[in-house]
Structure 1
Amino acid sequence: MRRLSAVTIADILATGRACADAARPETLRYFRKAWTEADNKAGPGAFDPVTEADRAAERAMRAVLAQRRPDDGILGEEYGTSGGTTGLTWVLDPIDGTRGYLSGTPTWGVLISVADSHGPLFGIIDQPYIGERFEGGLGQASLTGPQGVSDLATRPPRPLGEAIVLTTFPEVGTEAEGRAFRAVAGRARLTRYGMDCYAYALVASGQVDLVIEAGLQTYDIHAPIAVVEAAGGIVTDWRGGPAIEGGQVIAAANPAIHAEALDILAGALSPGTR
């Protein structure tokens, strides 16, 4: 991880918050409106929606970055990659959970992170409708919301049989990945679905023990990595390696339950899916 000056750190924190502030009204402008429409980015037989809210929120964040940090790179879900010269890249997911957004559920969020070649340095999980903002990295591990500001901290170890596990889609991924997930979930006390990025915020705030997902993209996971790890958790792929490129991801509240879940995942996966 690169060493950043205090001035640069302060500017990154302020810029990330400015991006979140700019995205909030753009997402809320279209939320729970009967006329909100979605285009399908997937092929026939699948549904990967994108709305004008997604596009407007990313444009708003890119405008902030163009003004405040024009020499940094950008990787955004809707408008792709823009090169930079500083070695830092902003990774933007303007609405993580567009399916939930279209359904009117409130747990979708805006994901913002800044990364170097080793991975995310700082991330924000912003929940515009709920009014909660989770920050992690560069000395930050905090939640700002309706009840004020509080520190983030993951929960201490407890056996998997007492744990809460979250994932977004019941099918998780491929048939083999779903089978591996169910091998873990079947031993947990409670499993819940449909949280999108809010699941990682709940790990960071000490509410749940594990999030296990598959088929993620880089922009889905960079901000959650920063927030969860700043709060004391661990985020890897299902083999225990880096998760910065997405794919199969496990976020755990602590190393003990991470190791327990990884062991079950490894035993359930066939060699061809590891």
Structure 2
Amino acid sequence: MPALPAGFPRDAVLEAAMAAADVARTVVLPFFRRGVGADDKHDSSPVTIADRTAERAIRAVLSERLPGFGVMGEEFGLEGGESPYRWVIDPVDGTRAFLTGRPTFGTLIALLHEGVPLLGVIDQPVTGERWIGLRGEPTRFVSTITGQIGTRRCGDVARAELSCTAPEILDAPHRPGFDALAGAVKRTSWGGDCYAYGLLALGQIDIIAECTMKIWDWAALVPVVEGAGGSMTDWAGQPLRADGDGTVLALGDAGLLSRVSTLLAAPVGAG
């Protein structure tokens, strides 16, 4: 795993990320289960006042704390793109869950250096759970709810718990591969958004396979999962990139990669 860049302002970065996550909680919670309406974006995904207000608040905190860093958010795009450091934020990852009162959405805050995720935060405002991953360090889990960081060893796909947010995020070329994987594992569960990746980091889930993911959907997850002992790649086992194919594969046990990637790849284009 690459080291942090020379001169990386570790403490300032962590303080800024924690302050931004704290502010996001105070913004999002008053809207939860209050009958908030949603608008459809160009890709038909919903967006609410909670998404927009939380992103503005996060941007304000990060820009004030570390003004030389760029900031990219799902709702309001990129500012300060010339910096090698870039915050990537998703104020409410799992808006459908938020709209229907499920506490499985989360706020995602990542810091990238030249495209590589260095820091990732998953924050669940309702349950008060927070996962903090920093490259080269063990992931931390801050919560009053039971849970211990550490992915589960699982050497056999047939014993694995597979998760995916929803069937509709699986695009047509990749659905046969997912079905092949689902047929090989012990059990498949649906739902979770970013929360599922936090559960994988706690050793509750073994495999997450998803499609149509944007950088703000996965950037914060990489340091969290890797710092807990897992791996994050695309379905072919390659590092995730902003210009990638949108597939994301999280494994609690990286030893599963070859077998899982084969299952996901073999049927592509079939049917």
Cα 1:65/1:128, change in 2 over 3 Å:
same
Shift in Å at residue 167 of structure 1?
A: 0.2
1:132-171 deviation per Cα after TM superposition (whole angstroms, max 9, x unaligned)? 00111142411111147x7521111331111100001124
Q: Name the residue aligned to 1:107.
A: 104
User: Do residues 211 (structure 1) and 208 (structure 2) align?
Assistant: yes
C-alpha separation between the residues in 2 aligned to 1:9 and 1:85? 21
Correspondence for 2:140 among 142, 154, 159:
142
Q: Name the residue aligned to 2:21.
A: 20
Matching residue's letter, 1:187: A
Which residues in structure 2 correspond to 1:57-136 (within 5 Å)? 57-83=54-80, 86-136=83-133
Identity in percent:
39
What secondary structure is seen at the aligned counterpart in 2 of 1:110? strand
User: Which one is further off, 139-148 or 197-206?
Assistant: 139-148
Matching residue's letter, 2:5: R
What secondary structure is seen at the aligned counterpart in 2 of 1:191? strand
C-alpha separation between the residues in 2 aligned to 1:38 and 1:204? 31
Shift in Å at residue 84 of structure 1?
A: 5.0
Structure 2: 5+ residue stretches without partners: none
- Are the equivalent residues in 2 in contact too, given 1:221–1:244 (CA < 8 A)? no
Structure with a larger share of its residues in strand: 1
Matching residue's letter, 2:186: R
- Are the equivalent residues in 1 in contact too, given 2:87–2:112 (CA < 8 A)? yes
Which residues in structure 2 correspond to 1:155-166 (within 5 Å)? 155-166=152-163
1:67-111 deviation per Cα after TM superposition (whole angstroms, max 9, x unaligned)? 100110011001100015541100000000001110111100000
TM-score, normalising length: structure 1: 0.92
Shift in Å at residue 172 of structure 1?
A: 3.6
1:192-250 deviation per Cα after TM superposition (whole angstroms, max 9, x unaligned)? 00110011111111111000000000000000111101111111111111213260110
Structure 1: 5+ residue stretches without partners: none
Q: Name the residue aligned to 2:34.
A: 33
TM-score, normalising length: structure 2: 0.93
C-alpha separation between the residues in 2 aligned to 1:123 and 1:17? 11
C-alpha separation between the residues in 2 aligned to 1:120 and 1:55? 23
C-alpha separation between the residues in 1 aligned to 2:223 and 2:188? 24
Correspondence for 1:3 among 5, 10, 33:
5
What secondary structure is seen at the aligned counterpart in 1 of 2:5? coil
User: Which one is further off, 17-26 or 136-145?
Assistant: 136-145
C-alpha separation between the residues in 1 aligned to 2:262 and 2:63? 45
What CA RMSD, in Å, does the superposition of the two structures yield over aligned residues? 1.7
